Amino acid sequence: MNAFQQIKNEFTENKRLFVFIHLLFWLVFIIGIIVAIVNPQLLLDAVQRIHSSGFAKWIAEIYKGNNIALALFLTFFINLFVVCILTISIPSFFVSGLGVILGLSLAYKWGSHFLDPSQKIAGIPYYIFHLIVDLLEGEAYILAMIAGVRINSDIFHLKTWIASRRMWLKVNLGYYKAIMIVLFISAIVEVSSVKIYLWFAK
Protein backbone atom coordinates (compact mmCIF):
# COMPACT_ATOMS: atom_id res chain seq x y z
CA MET A 1 0.00 0.00 0.00
CA ASN A 2 1.18 3.53 -0.81
CA ALA A 3 2.68 5.13 2.32
CA PHE A 4 0.46 8.19 2.18
CA GLN A 5 -2.61 6.14 1.29
CA GLN A 6 -2.16 4.28 4.58
CA ILE A 7 -1.90 7.59 6.45
CA LYS A 8 -5.03 8.77 4.64
CA ASN A 9 -6.86 5.62 5.71
CA GLU A 10 -5.60 6.05 9.27
CA PHE A 11 -6.82 9.64 9.27
CA THR A 12 -10.26 8.56 8.07
CA GLU A 13 -10.48 6.05 10.92
CA ASN A 14 -8.94 8.26 13.61
CA LYS A 15 -9.78 11.86 12.70
CA ARG A 16 -10.10 13.04 16.28
CA LEU A 17 -6.71 11.64 17.27
CA PHE A 18 -5.01 13.19 14.22
CA VAL A 19 -6.60 16.60 14.70
CA PHE A 20 -6.04 16.61 18.47
CA ILE A 21 -2.32 15.79 18.33
CA HIS A 22 -1.71 18.19 15.43
CA LEU A 23 -3.42 21.04 17.30
CA LEU A 24 -1.70 20.14 20.57
CA PHE A 25 1.78 20.03 19.01
CA TRP A 26 1.51 23.39 17.25
CA LEU A 27 -0.24 25.00 20.23
CA VAL A 28 2.67 24.01 22.50
CA PHE A 29 5.09 25.23 19.81
CA ILE A 30 3.31 28.63 19.75
CA ILE A 31 3.33 28.75 23.56
CA GLY A 32 7.11 28.31 23.41
CA ILE A 33 7.33 31.27 21.00
CA ILE A 34 5.10 33.44 23.22
CA VAL A 35 7.13 32.61 26.33
CA ALA A 36 10.32 33.58 24.47
CA ILE A 37 8.74 36.88 23.35
CA VAL A 38 7.60 37.68 26.90
CA ASN A 39 11.00 36.68 28.27
CA PRO A 40 13.63 37.63 25.62
CA GLN A 41 16.44 36.44 27.86
CA LEU A 42 15.07 32.91 27.59
CA LEU A 43 15.38 33.11 23.79
CA LEU A 44 18.90 34.53 23.95
CA ASP A 45 20.01 31.85 26.42
CA ALA A 46 18.50 29.06 24.30
CA VAL A 47 20.12 30.36 21.10
CA GLN A 48 23.47 30.79 22.85
CA ARG A 49 23.35 27.23 24.21
CA ILE A 50 22.60 25.86 20.76
CA HIS A 51 25.30 27.84 18.95
CA SER A 52 27.94 27.15 21.61
CA SER A 53 27.46 23.37 21.80
CA GLY A 54 30.15 21.19 20.28
CA PHE A 55 27.59 19.16 18.36
CA ALA A 56 26.04 22.27 16.77
CA LYS A 57 29.48 23.55 15.76
CA TRP A 58 30.31 20.18 14.19
CA ILE A 59 27.05 20.19 12.20
CA ALA A 60 27.67 23.81 11.16
CA GLU A 61 31.09 22.89 9.78
CA ILE A 62 29.54 20.10 7.73
CA TYR A 63 26.94 22.49 6.33
CA LYS A 64 29.67 24.98 5.46
CA GLY A 65 31.61 22.30 3.57
CA ASN A 66 31.04 21.05 0.06
CA ASN A 67 29.86 17.57 1.00
CA ILE A 68 26.16 18.09 0.39
CA ALA A 69 25.43 14.35 0.50
CA LEU A 70 26.84 14.13 4.04
CA ALA A 71 24.82 17.18 5.14
CA LEU A 72 21.65 15.61 3.71
CA PHE A 73 22.36 12.26 5.36
CA LEU A 74 23.07 13.76 8.80
CA THR A 75 19.98 15.98 8.67
CA PHE A 76 17.82 13.03 7.70
CA PHE A 77 19.47 10.63 10.17
CA ILE A 78 19.25 12.97 13.18
CA ASN A 79 15.56 13.73 12.60
CA LEU A 80 14.67 10.11 11.88
CA PHE A 81 16.77 8.21 14.41
CA VAL A 82 17.44 10.66 17.25
CA VAL A 83 14.10 12.49 17.27
CA CYS A 84 11.44 10.20 15.79
CA ILE A 85 12.77 6.78 16.84
CA LEU A 86 14.75 7.39 20.05
CA THR A 87 12.82 10.33 21.49
CA ILE A 88 9.25 9.51 20.42
CA SER A 89 8.71 5.94 19.21
CA ILE A 90 10.85 3.83 21.56
CA PRO A 91 9.39 5.44 24.72
CA SER A 92 5.90 4.91 23.21
CA PHE A 93 6.71 1.25 22.63
CA PHE A 94 7.12 0.68 26.37
CA VAL A 95 4.59 3.18 27.73
CA SER A 96 1.76 4.34 25.48
CA GLY A 97 1.58 8.14 25.47
CA LEU A 98 5.10 8.77 26.77
CA GLY A 99 6.30 9.61 23.26
CA VAL A 100 3.56 12.22 22.97
CA ILE A 101 4.73 13.92 26.17
CA LEU A 102 8.34 13.93 24.96
CA GLY A 103 7.24 15.16 21.53
CA LEU A 104 5.36 18.05 23.12
CA SER A 105 8.41 18.87 25.23
CA LEU A 106 10.38 19.04 22.00
CA ALA A 107 7.73 21.31 20.44
CA TYR A 108 8.03 23.71 23.38
CA LYS A 109 11.83 23.85 23.23
CA TRP A 110 11.63 24.26 19.48
CA GLY A 111 9.25 27.18 19.83
CA SER A 112 11.28 28.81 22.60
CA HIS A 113 14.26 29.38 20.27
CA PHE A 114 12.37 29.65 16.97
CA LEU A 115 12.62 33.46 16.69
CA ASP A 116 16.43 33.49 16.55
CA PRO A 117 17.27 37.13 15.71
CA SER A 118 20.96 36.46 15.06
CA GLN A 119 20.56 34.93 11.58
CA LYS A 120 19.25 36.85 8.57
CA ILE A 121 19.17 36.57 4.78
CA ALA A 122 19.25 39.96 3.02
CA GLY A 123 17.97 41.54 6.24
CA ILE A 124 15.10 39.05 6.55
CA PRO A 125 15.09 36.76 9.63
CA TYR A 126 16.26 33.28 8.68
CA TYR A 127 13.40 31.59 10.53
CA ILE A 128 10.99 32.86 7.85
CA PHE A 129 12.93 30.91 5.22
CA HIS A 130 13.18 27.95 7.58
CA LEU A 131 9.43 27.80 8.24
CA ILE A 132 8.69 25.18 5.57
CA VAL A 133 11.38 22.95 7.12
CA ASP A 134 9.76 23.36 10.54
CA LEU A 135 6.36 22.43 9.11
CA LEU A 136 7.75 19.32 7.39
CA GLU A 137 9.80 18.15 10.37
CA GLY A 138 6.93 18.92 12.71
CA GLU A 139 4.60 16.78 10.59
CA ALA A 140 7.04 13.86 10.76
CA TYR A 141 7.27 14.18 14.56
CA ILE A 142 3.48 14.37 14.84
CA LEU A 143 3.05 11.22 12.73
CA ALA A 144 5.50 9.41 15.01
CA MET A 145 3.53 10.61 18.04
CA ILE A 146 0.23 9.44 16.55
CA ALA A 147 1.68 6.06 15.57
CA GLY A 148 2.97 5.64 19.10
CA VAL A 149 -0.50 5.78 20.65
CA ARG A 150 -2.42 3.89 17.96
CA ILE A 151 -2.13 0.60 19.87
CA ASN A 152 -2.44 0.83 23.65
CA SER A 153 -0.14 -1.18 25.89
CA ASP A 154 -1.16 -3.08 29.01
CA ILE A 155 2.08 -3.25 30.99
CA PHE A 156 0.40 -5.25 33.78
CA HIS A 157 -0.42 -8.28 31.59
CA LEU A 158 2.62 -9.70 29.82
CA LYS A 159 0.84 -11.78 27.15
CA THR A 160 -1.51 -8.93 26.24
CA TRP A 161 1.41 -6.50 26.20
CA ILE A 162 3.50 -8.71 23.87
CA ALA A 163 0.57 -9.14 21.48
CA SER A 164 -0.16 -5.41 21.47
CA ARG A 165 3.52 -4.59 20.84
CA ARG A 166 3.55 -6.84 17.76
CA MET A 167 0.57 -4.94 16.39
CA TRP A 168 2.22 -1.67 17.43
CA LEU A 169 5.33 -2.50 15.39
CA LYS A 170 3.22 -3.35 12.35
CA VAL A 171 1.31 -0.06 12.56
CA ASN A 172 4.46 1.99 13.17
CA LEU A 173 6.33 0.46 10.23
CA GLY A 174 3.49 1.65 8.02
CA TYR A 175 3.69 5.17 9.44
CA TYR A 176 7.47 5.27 9.11
CA LYS A 177 7.28 4.88 5.34
CA ALA A 178 5.56 8.27 5.20
CA ILE A 179 7.75 9.73 7.97
CA MET A 180 10.92 8.86 6.05
CA ILE A 181 9.62 10.46 2.85
CA VAL A 182 8.64 13.65 4.68
CA LEU A 183 12.01 13.83 6.46
CA PHE A 184 13.93 13.23 3.23
CA ILE A 185 12.10 16.14 1.55
CA SER A 186 12.67 18.22 4.69
CA ALA A 187 16.42 17.44 4.62
CA ILE A 188 16.68 18.62 1.01
CA VAL A 189 14.84 21.86 1.82
CA GLU A 190 16.87 22.44 5.00
CA VAL A 191 20.28 21.91 3.41
CA SER A 192 19.24 24.13 0.49
CA SER A 193 18.04 26.91 2.82
CA VAL A 194 21.27 26.75 4.86
CA LYS A 195 23.36 26.94 1.68
CA ILE A 196 21.37 30.01 0.59
CA TYR A 197 21.87 31.57 4.04
CA LEU A 198 25.62 30.92 3.91
CA TRP A 199 25.82 32.38 0.41
CA PHE A 200 24.13 35.62 1.57
CA ALA A 201 26.28 35.66 4.71
CA LYS A 202 29.53 35.88 2.72
Express each pLDDT in 56-67 by its tens digit.
778 778 888 888
Domain count, the chain: 1
Question: Cα–Cα distance between 152 and 126 in angstroms, integer?
Answer: 40
Residues 99-125 as b/e (b if ≥16 CB within 10 A, e otherwise) read bbebbbebbbebbbbbebeeebbeeee
Q: Would the pLDDT of 25 be above 80?
A: yes
87-137 per-position pLDDT tens digit: 999 999 888 889 999 999 999 988 888 877 666 655 566 677 778 889 999
Q: Would the pLDDT of 201 be above 70?
A: no
Confidence class of residue 164 from pLDDT cuts 50, 70 and 90? confident
Minimum mean pLDDT range among 29-38, 88-97, 154-163:
154-163
Of 19, 133, 5, nearest in space to 72 by CA: 133
Residue ranges of alpha helices (H) inside the chain are 3-13, 15-38, 40-52, 54-64, 68-77, 90-94, 98-112, 126-129, 131-148, 158-201
Question: Cα–Cα distance between 132 and 136 in angstroms, integer?
Answer: 6
What pLDDT does residue 77 have? Answer: 95
What is this structure's pTM?
A: 0.88
Q: Would the pLDDT of 154 be above 90?
A: no
Confidence class of residue 72 from pLDDT cuts 50, 70 and 90? very high
What pLDDT does residue 9 have? Answer: 85
What pLDDT does residue 126 have? Answer: 67
Q: Would the pLDDT of 53 be above 80?
A: no
What pLDDT does residue 67 have? Answer: 86
Q: Would the pLDDT of 196 be above 90?
A: no
Tell me which residue range forms the domain holding 43: 3-201
